[in-house]
A = this chain, B = another copy of it.
């Protein structure tokens, strides 16, 4: 039975429309508004949501990892229970297409279940135990035992480009829930009905498992004020955000200016440099061109890991390669963009770039007029010298656009690598005979990115233990953390040490008997043994 979209905020499992302002979403394939109106949340509603989250936290901070794992599994099941309605609603609001959305749904439910596995294994609390040394001279040593605990209510800002995996029940929410933190989601205004469906699924899981209603709320809104009110609410302990540099920085600034500042884990823009070394191009240029175009046009180029910058060394092969990529880009029909503001933003960004000196446009560079939001697949080129002199050329073109940077020599390419700003990823394509050059580049690129990819493409971010989806500013505001992968949970936890606390009063993870059977660092060594 399909869910009836009511267009309201969902505050602690109750629909709420105290405000008067509404907004609508637009189908990017038709530029027509979708049939529902959504209520902008007002301050009192945001306050209710955060207060309910605070109340919920008084309970959820005591929940066992197993209880939280069951909840994550239930949320995954309830998302699946939304069935085709979810796919069609999201497709109508995003134009991403059913196959892609089906894949993204699997990723989203898979991610929730992976966090469930992490919780059941249990070692994620980072238990560290220094046993007492009562006979130590000159002073005895106390027993000190430390583990991570949940931080408190988390505000999550949804992304437009991943309506499932980085939205209402996406990575930020999944990792915050896994940590034991209640979540207040600010839905992305371009897919509000999709967001409401996810809220329905999460609320069903809350009912099924008798979780406190305030463990989750959904706030709708298409104004900056809604987000700012949420971030500056004293009850919010941390923020997860995926979106543009401008919006992410505004939220970071608001959080830093609070009387009690809070961390903002914002994943923002990235151009994801790809370096194609000469022998790799010579050996398998055609495969590389096909792979690059596929990565560039995935989701109409609207991936945070889109390869927006390609660095090469000047040669006839390089010229031929760029021509080949331009032809392939030109031959592929450009996809639908998520919304009018992305179309406009992309048009402005490319227009700014092509006005800079020494920029050549191989193909594209214009909005595609028609029923849909659409921008031509675009290939630009500049020299390494121009690139190094112009920081503006490192700004993101969010869409199916890449900028080739051609160096006169390997030395000049290395100079360009040194000039790179922070990015989520960097990629090197190399042949066996490029290994020496590659090693130096790899270690230099390491300084400015979160993930280094070898002979692959940056799009497609595995949800796994070792994944690092982050990087130095402006890629993120918190380069020591990741928004994808299992360590994402650490963003929403904080260590507390217990000194000489009797075993019976310690949390299970720190008790002598190790009743959770987890890995712990005991007196400096890893162990699952009891003490």
Partner-B contacts on A (CB < 8 A)? 61-62, 117, 121, 123, 128-130, 139, 141-142, 144-146, 149, 151-152, 252-253, 256-257, 260-261, 263, 422, 435, 438-439, 442-443, 446-447, 449-456, 460, 462, 464-468, 470, 472-474, 477, 479-480, 482, 487, 490, 493-502, 504-505, 519, 521, 523-524, 526
Contacts and interface: CB of A to CB of B under 8 A. Distances in A.
Contacts of A443: 62
A442 B480 contact: no
Given A493-B480, A496-B446, A499-B454, A465 B523 contact: yes
Nearest to A518: B526
Contacts of A477: 261
A456 B497 contact: no
A263 B480 contact: yes
A517 to B, nearest CB: 12
Given A467-B146, A477-B261, A455 B500 contact: yes
Contact of A438 (B452, B462, B505): B505
Contacts of A261: 252, 256, 473, 477
10 A-B pairs with the lowest CB-CB distances in the bound complex, closest first: A468-B497, A256-B256, A128-B466, A146-B466, A144-B466, A130-B464, A454-B501, A451-B497, A453-B499, A130-B466
Contacts of A145: 466
Given A454-B502, A505-B439, A526-B526, A129 B466 contact: yes
Contact of A451 (B455, B465, B470, B496): B496
28 contacts: A61-B447, A62-B443, A117-B524, A121-B524, A123-B526, A128-B466, A130-B467, A141-B462, A142-B462, A144-B462, A146-B467, A260-B422, A260-B472, A263-B480, A450-B497, A451-B496, A451-B497, A452-B496, A452-B497, A454-B499, A454-B500, A455-B500, A456-B500, A465-B523, A465-B524, A466-B497, A468-B496, A526-B526
A493 B480 CA distance: 7
A422 B259 CA distance: 13
A149 B505 contact: no
A450 B495 CA distance: 7
Nearest to A114: B524
Nearest to A464: B130
A261 B504 CA distance: 43
Nearest to A477: B261
Nearest to A252: B261
A453 B497 CA distance: 8
A98 to B, nearest CB: 16
B256 A465 contact: no
Nearest to A451: B497
Nearest to A258: B473
Contact of A452 (B456, B474, B499, B524): B499
